[in-house]
Amino acid sequence: MSDSSKSAQKAPRHNCDTCDVRHKAMCAAVGHEHTDQLQAIVSHRDYSPGQVIFEEGDPADYVFNISDGEVRLYKLLPDGRRQVTGFLTPGDFLGLITESSYAYGAGAIGAVELCCMKLTNLERLLSDIPPVRERLLDMSRDELAAAQEQMLLLGRKTAREKILSFLLYRHKHLDRTDSDASIDLPMSRTDIADYLGLTIETVSRTFTALRDEGLIELPNPHHVIFPDLDAVRDAADAA
């Protein structure tokens, strides 16, 4: 992780003023006149691929913003079955807390950098700078809508529809390199399966089937190219 950051590091490494995800994060609601207060309460931590950030039920003192990398959220059943409830990307808020402990587990997919904030400091920030609470409410509104959409996927879509919806969601929200019709999938097949309520075998078979139909190209398991995006959209909707 020594040189994984996107820009040169002569300037103070973690500077809220120059943070390139600030506009996407809750911090966007902190006016520049309050940047000092924000800067004073954040610290940063690095995680290596696969590392657990926290487990569901851990007592929660900190909340986080994703600075870099991708994070999986998950819940476990006593026998080990796992449901991945979401993937977080830079700018996303991490740390849903109920009854003083985390409501889900979180783990680094690749190398991850988090911007950490003590819960007590967040609470002070919320009372000092009201727009931050407004911002958090807006963000959780979006999360709630995404959760509803995911319930529709989990409860009512076929394996094929699940995969297609997942790919399109990634394309829409994460890889907006203009008209580039391709996406990265940094997570494993196991993560995808646990996110979509499938097994790795079904995920793999479905990818193969979509490739054989010409709907996608798979130069490697972590990169998908869409030769015809509209055809994928049609296939995702159709009954």
Which residues would be at the binding site for DNA (CB under 7 A)? 158-160, 188-190, 197-205, 207-208, 218, 220-222
58 contacts 106 by C-beta, under 8 angstroms: no
The distance of closest approach from Cβ of residue 118 to DNA in the complex, given in angstroms and rounded to an integer, is 33
The distance from CA 47 to its chain's CA centroid, rounded to whole angstroms, is: 15
Sign of the CA dihedral 209, 212, 217, 223? Answer: positive
How far is the C-alpha of 154 from the C-alpha of 198, rounded, in Å? Answer: 9
Nearer to DNA by Cβ, of 31 and 221: the residue is: 221
Site string for a copy of itself, 135-164 (x = CB under 8 A): -xx--xxxxxx-xxxxxx-xxxx-------
Helices 200-212 and 189-196: crossing angle in degrees, nearest 10, is 100
State which residue, 39 or 121, has the beta carbon closest to a copy of itself.
121
Question: From the list DNA, a copy of itself, none, which binds 103 (C-beta under 5 to 8 Å, kind-based)?
Answer: a copy of itself
Burial zone of 64 (CB within 10 Å; 0-12 exposed, 13-18 middle, 19+ buried)? buried
Q: Are 229 and 164 in contact (CB under 8 A)?
A: no
172 binds, among DNA, a copy of itself, none (CB under 5 to 8 A by kind): none
Name the residue nearer to a copy of itself (CB basis): 11 or 152: 152
Count, in order, helices (H) and strands (E) of the chain: 7, 13
Using CB under 8 A as the binding rule, whether residue 43 contacts a copy of itself is answered as no
Residues lying near a copy of itself in the complex (CB under 8 A) are found at 73, 75, 77-79, 81-83, 85, 96-98, 103-104, 126, 130, 133-134, 136-137, 140-145, 147-152, 154-157, 194-197, 237-239
